Structure 1
Amino acid sequence: MKKVSSVFWISIVVTVLFIIWGALPEATLGSASLGSVTNAIQTFIVDKFGWYYLLAGSIFVIFVLFLIFSRYGSIRLGKDDERPEYSYISWFAMLFSAGMGIGLVFWGASEPISHFHVPPAGDGGTADAARTAMRYSFFHWGLHPWAIYSVLALALAYFQFRKGAPLLISNILRPLLGDRVDGGLGTFVNFIAVFATIFGVATSLGLGAIQISGGLSYISPITNNFTTQLIIIIVVTLLFLLSAKSGLDKGIKYLSNLNVIIAIVLLLVVLFVSKTNFIMDLFVTTLGSYIQYLPSMSFRLTPFDQDNTWIKDWTIFYWAWWISWAPFVGTFIARISRGRTIREFLIGVLAVPTILGGLWFSTFGGSAIFLDYFEKLPVFEVMSDKGTEVALFYVLQQLPMGTILSVIAIILIATFFITSADSATFVLGMQTTRGSLNPPNTVKLVWGIIQALTAIVLLRTGGLEALQTASIIAALPFSIVLILAVFSLIKAFKGEKRQVSNK
């Protein structure tokens, strides 16, 4: 433990205190319980800063699109003669698995069917509601989240591989703050990043446990309750800690490739045994609609409809979730992106996951809407009655080989679970060992246990709602770091000594 920084000890103390707080009986604490306090904070943040999250997300999209078409796009993330460390296939697999894996599986069927019945405006259950449902699913999982990730990833990769700075989030602010990043201010920035990572990843781990439990209960006599979810978290934690010992080039790389293979198999099978023409027509139509309505959706709030909480419950939550995930996903993407040009990096990080995510929602969400709208099956009613996590499995059970597909889906969730947690321990290890590119296994072990305990506490204090609350709270302070990173990159690019081409 000689390599750890002060950020490690500060983060451990704060997180352990949080875990102890959450473990105390709610009846004893009353309004001072973890659930009550975090709900109050979340309500305040969403009511007062919802506009801020929406505006910040759009600023990040505009910024990265500008860089793609600017002369700075030819700058290489490394020395001028360096080439990428990983192939495109392995690179895409790792960034996709770390960035969205569990969330896509969890929300793939449930989000579109939710929007179909409860749209942001108008009546539910109509053809217009179906189009809106798919468009907003593309919107929530498209360019905005990957732009948020790419801002931090680009800053980290640029300053680490081109400027030789340690892979610490505080170092990306050096052009603005100077040597103050080496002192208490830098420690505070890195602590915020670690704090956001812990709760952002804990949210996804909780979602994974909820959905594995829901899937098992749907195809077997196993009960979907907190005890089952607890056992799942413990078992998967042991598995990802074993994987974490293998390091980046073995454990995470191999698991990421396996994730993508299983995901593609499940996607293609469902695509071809379901209504293929309907799904592909829906994908193409929604892609065009998404591009057409992207500007208006990016800035849409409801100031004259104070009772409409849809934007707060969905878009604002997602933007906060993506921001809270940014330290983890951004650091991880930066670590695997050495040698790529800024233009190549941004196009890869933005375009490929957005298109694949759209195809995923068209396949699973489109199948759910088709069953509900055309075949009059109670997809939404089943989800409302048995939980959001069972929507996917209900849809799969209506298809040929439904049970086999459900088993494959549970395996996919588990492998995504392991990869996300494994990647997060790697990132937390780097951020708390002064930017070490290969943090000690002991440090990763500690963070793996901390992540699991945090997810357990959040599930115990309120399930899915508590997980969402934690993300929104953790995101607010880190969003300021992301905005500063934009100005820091602009200043650093202007100071580039070599002439960049206008290619």
Structure 2
Amino acid sequence: MQESPDPSGNEKRPTQPIERSKFGGTDHAHDTRRHKRGEELLPPVSSRELGEAQRELEKDFQGRPTRKSHVNWPVFIISSIVILAFSLWAIFKPDAASNTMADVVAWGSANLGWIFVVTTTAVILFVLWVAFSKEGQVRLGPDHSRPQYKLFTWVAMLFAAGVGIDMLFYSVTGPISQYYSPPMEVPESPAAARDAVIWTMFHYGIAGWSMYALLGMAMGYFAYRWGMPLSIRAALYPLIGKRIKGAPGDVIDIFALVGTVMGVATSMGIGVVLLAIGFATLFGLEAGLALQIGLVLVAVLVTIAATSSGVDKGVRIISELNLWAAAALVLYIVVTGKTSFLLHALVENVGEFVWTLPERHLQTMAYEQDGSEWMASWTLFFWAFWLAWGPFVGVFLARISRGRTIREFVIAAITVPVLCDIVIISVFGNSGLAEVFAGNTEFAELAQDSPEQGFYSLLEMFPGSTFLIALATFSGLLFYLTSANSGAMVMSNFSSFIPDPAEDGAKWLRVFWSLLTAVLTIAMLIAGGVTTMEYATLIFALPVTVIAWLVMASFLKALRMERAEREGRNKYRRSQAAGGGYAPERSWRQRVSGLRSYPSKKSVTSYIERTVVPALTDVTNEFREQGYAAELSYVPDTDSGVERPTFTVHVSGERNFLYQVVAVSTPIPTFGGRTPTDETNTYFRLEVFTHTGSEGYNLMGITKQQLIDDVLDRYEAHLMFLGHSSDADASSFVTPAVDPDTTT
């Protein structure tokens, strides 16, 4: 016999496990099965086991419960050594580094390029399937959660998070290069001209944003719906279980962190090459390595200054400015340039892009002469770039998307920013091609040989070029600083253990990673500039492809658990439809009274003391007398100031039963029984919360007996859910629950 603590302050009562019910107490068969499967190592196979993840991940590496953030020293030290060693090699042996990476990339593109192509295609299909499945309605958070940011602000932050200054860099050189050196068409032909802009659109299209959506929705789902840390390793808990706290989890974080640093450094490197030309043009400076290094140091200083600004203050303002600046830049080009040609070309580009999208995504250039070289320089580089940026952007998107449904998140991520990218690339790319068609061969050569100079050379051809160059430089600077600041924040998170997904890594970590990223950026500039950055991205992004596949497998397993829970609830609702479903059935007088009732905080507090607490106390005592491990506790609520009475039944080896009564502040409607009479314009509802949030009905006004009946109805529903979940998810496609002792 064991004692269970009673947080309400009552005397401890003896608790006996129930032998006769599978879900009412200790299930020895289940415990034996888990023991044989290796409980400390194997991953969860159902939602009841996934529900234990939060408690496990809150423990430190000695198994002691903790909610404190701390540095993950193995990940921090190993990642730092790898990046620092690579940087020093590039600084002191630039030629050797450049040549070695070129050889590795040549071999990799010829032999492993198909891996990037298959991975990106699989990611696109997977996120679309998730978005349009029934699980697409699941929220990144509890069922009652709602978005934190307004739609425009959220879209602006999506755009700024996933689009870097590199898009401006390639928006002119990409189409012109594809026109003169197309992968499949005859050079300088009408077919090559039509295809030139489409290839750049394709490289900045749905593939990168699908990768961001995959990692963002997976990390956001596990962080905000299951209370896990906001990290890649937490998103793999359904797949590898408690191993994520050991070496496997560290390896995953190291790959994600190193890939992120490489991706951000590449974007910063391309950015400073482009911005140096802009500043040199505006202020008469020399656009050399010294100016580029100076811009890198500016990014470090801004990141250090912004360490206390947070997502809410800093990035939100920069994101909205970024969107307006980019829109103004594009509009100016359209209005002052060849308006008719640009608009006609945009319509044709969009149609061709959509029509040829499936074919391009599976194109490996297997039958083209020098196809592997072209793929390495263009498609594979961009796929590797998006893979390297995936963990970084995924964390940021998850942070700003709490409360949104998976469907809303995915559709917004792969449509709105992609449309913005398409418009920007079409306007700049076709403006550059128009000059080429007019016979400006000098500009064409400059755009291919020196893309950063080609971009600003194009801007100089428009009226008011000084203003246009200043606007483009300002827009690029915003892209550049957003990437640097957000990147440092994500790197500090990846190198830390942070139980609370709302928190970030230590400020000194952000400063450290911004400095180390700056060193890496300068090293690659010394070793060969943009070309070296492309090589490094291709090499270090390859392990991230493995992470992408693991995340898809893990998230698929979690969604199967969500489906089992939903089907179990629907089955219970059908069986209880005649009795009123979940909400307790009220008398007609209670219903009429409720129409005119808008209780205050004082009223709900009194009702909790007079009705809710006595009812839950009686239920708790009765459950304990029957041998259940039941407890009644009171959880502080900082939002309402009203404590939450919480009735819990601990179910051994299963997901615990939770019945929590929460006072929810709600605006008083301006229609109905009466209008608000005080200045607050709000009243309080008493809603039932479970593991996944509010169940949506109000308990105020029901009797003690009706409340007890509601608790018992919900407990019976919970048992039905556990039974259905056990039947549906006792095994999965990833981790079948096979007894190793009986396997031959």
Residue 401 of structure 2 corresponds to residue 337 of structure 1: yes
Residue 560 of structure 2 corresponds to residue 494 of structure 1: yes
Residue pairs, 1:194-343, within 5 angstroms = 194-219=257-282, 221-308=284-371, 309-343=373-407
Which residue among 467, 472, 481 is the counterpart of 2:533? 467
**CA root-mean-square deviation:** 1.9
Distance 1:376 1:20, change over 3 A: closer
Report the Cα distance in structure 2 between the residues aligned to 1:305 and 1:347, rounded to whole angstroms. 35
Deviates more, 1:70-79 or 1:229-238: 229-238
- Residue 2 of structure 1 deviates from its aligned partner by 7.6
Report the Cα distance in structure 2 between the residues aligned to 1:93 and 1:241, rounded to whole angstroms. 23
In structure 2, the partner of 1:450 is 516
Residue pairs, 1:368-383, within 5 angstroms = 368-374=432-438, 376=440, 378-383=442-447
Residue 180 of structure 2 corresponds to residue 112 of structure 1: no
Deviates more, 1:39-48 or 1:456-465: 39-48
Residue 71 of structure 2 corresponds to residue 71 of structure 1: no
Whether contact under 8 Å (1:109, 1:392) holds in the other structure is yes
Report the Cα distance in structure 2 between the residues aligned to 1:92 and 1:300, rounded to whole angstroms. 31
SS of aligned partner of 1:378: helix
Residue 239 of structure 2 corresponds to residue 172 of structure 1: no
In structure 1, the partner of 2:148 is 85
**TM-score, normalisation: structure 1:** 0.95
Whether contact under 8 Å (1:125, 1:373) holds in the other structure is no
- Residue 377 of structure 1 deviates from its aligned partner by 5.8
- Residue 243 of structure 1 deviates from its aligned partner by 2.3
In structure 2, the partner of 1:10 is 78
Residue 110 of structure 2 corresponds to residue 47 of structure 1: yes
In structure 2, the partner of 1:193 is 256
Report the Cα distance in structure 2 between the residues aligned to 1:109 and 1:490, rounded to whole angstroms. 40
What are the Cα deviations for residues 447-478 of structure 1, in whole angstroms up to 9, with x where unaligned?
11111111001111111111101111111001
- Residue 44 of structure 1 deviates from its aligned partner by 2.3
Whether contact under 8 Å (2:183, 2:368) holds in the other structure is no
Which residue among 217, 224, 239 is the counterpart of 1:161? 224
Deviates more, 1:372-381 or 1:242-251: 372-381
Residue 472 of structure 2 corresponds to residue 409 of structure 1: yes
In structure 1, the partner of 2:211 is 148
Report the Cα distance in structure 1 between the residues aligned to 2:98 and 2:172, rounded to whole angstroms. 28
- Residue 376 of structure 1 deviates from its aligned partner by 4.0
What are the Cα deviations for residues 157-198 of structure 1, in whole angstroms up to 9, with x where unaligned?
111111111012111111111111111110110011000000
- Residue 68 of structure 1 deviates from its aligned partner by 2.1
Report the Cα distance in structure 2 between the residues aligned to 1:299 and 1:326, rounded to whole angstroms. 20
In structure 2, the partner of 1:354 is 418
Report the Cα distance in structure 1 between the residues aligned to 2:160 and 2:383, rounded to whole angstroms. 19
- Residue 318 of structure 1 deviates from its aligned partner by 0.7
Residue 486 of structure 2 corresponds to residue 431 of structure 1: no
More helix by share: 1
Residue pairs, 1:54-65, within 5 angstroms = 54-65=117-128
Report the Cα distance in structure 2 between the residues aligned to 1:218 and 1:178, rounded to whole angstroms. 56
In structure 1, the partner of 2:58 is none
Which residue among 191, 214, 217 is the counterpart of 1:128? 191
- Residue 110 of structure 1 deviates from its aligned partner by 1.7
In structure 2, the partner of 1:364 is 428
In structure 1, the partner of 2:665 is none
SS of aligned partner of 2:466: helix
More strand by share: 2
Report the Cα distance in structure 1 between the residues aligned to 2:541 and 2:69, rounded to whole angstroms. 30
Report the Cα distance in structure 1 between the residues aligned to 2:198 and 2:255, rounded to whole angstroms. 33
Report the Cα distance in structure 2 between the residues aligned to 1:313 and 1:18, rounded to whole angstroms. 22
- Residue 383 of structure 1 deviates from its aligned partner by 2.0
Bigger relative contact order, structure 1 or 2 (CA pairs below 8 A, ≥6 apart): 1
What are the Cα deviations for residues 401-448 of structure 1, in whole angstroms up to 9, with x where unaligned?
112101111111112111100000111111112136222211111111
Report the Cα distance in structure 2 between the residues aligned to 1:204 and 1:131, rounded to whole angstroms. 28
Residue 82 of structure 2 corresponds to residue 24 of structure 1: no
Whether contact under 8 Å (1:117, 1:380) holds in the other structure is no
Deviates more, 1:168-177 or 1:115-124: 115-124
Whether contact under 8 Å (1:200, 1:321) holds in the other structure is yes
Report the Cα distance in structure 2 between the residues aligned to 1:155 and 1:9, rounded to whole angstroms. 26
- Residue 375 of structure 1 deviates from its aligned partner by 5.8
- Residue 354 of structure 1 deviates from its aligned partner by 1.0
- Residue 40 of structure 1 deviates from its aligned partner by 2.7
Report the Cα distance in structure 2 between the residues aligned to 1:237 and 1:98, rounded to whole angstroms. 18
SS of aligned partner of 2:165: helix
Report the Cα distance in structure 2 between the residues aligned to 1:2 and 1:74, rounded to whole angstroms. 32
Whether contact under 8 Å (1:244, 1:251) holds in the other structure is no
Report the Cα distance in structure 2 between the residues aligned to 1:472 and 1:226, rounded to whole angstroms. 24
Report the Cα distance in structure 1 between the residues aligned to 2:167 and 2:348, rounded to whole angstroms. 20
Report the Cα distance in structure 1 between the residues aligned to 2:508 and 2:149, rounded to whole angstroms. 26
SS of aligned partner of 2:105: helix
Whether contact under 8 Å (1:262, 1:412) holds in the other structure is yes
Report the Cα distance in structure 1 between the residues aligned to 2:552 and 2:559, rounded to whole angstroms. 11
Report the Cα distance in structure 2 between the residues aligned to 1:195 and 1:25, rounded to whole angstroms. 21
Matched to 2:388, the amino acid is S
Report the Cα distance in structure 2 between the residues aligned to 1:220 and 1:226, rounded to whole angstroms. 16
Distance 1:462 1:375, change over 3 A: closer
Report the Cα distance in structure 2 between the residues aligned to 1:305 and 1:450, rounded to whole angstroms. 40
Deviates more, 1:2-11 or 1:412-421: 2-11
Matched to 2:191, the amino acid is D
SS of aligned partner of 2:325: helix
What are the Cα deviations for residues 100-127 of structure 1, in whole angstroms up to 9, with x where unaligned?
1212211122211221222122222232
Report the Cα distance in structure 2 between the residues aligned to 1:23 and 1:52, rounded to whole angstroms. 31
Q: Structure 1: any 5+ residue segments left out of the alignment?
A: none
Residue 102 of structure 2 corresponds to residue 34 of structure 1: no
Whether contact under 8 Å (1:157, 1:335) holds in the other structure is yes
SS of aligned partner of 1:108: helix
Deviates more, 1:300-309 or 1:427-436: 300-309
Report the Cα distance in structure 2 between the residues aligned to 1:302 and 1:22, rounded to whole angstroms. 31
- Residue 13 of structure 1 deviates from its aligned partner by 2.5
SS of aligned partner of 2:550: helix
- Residue 22 of structure 1 deviates from its aligned partner by 2.3
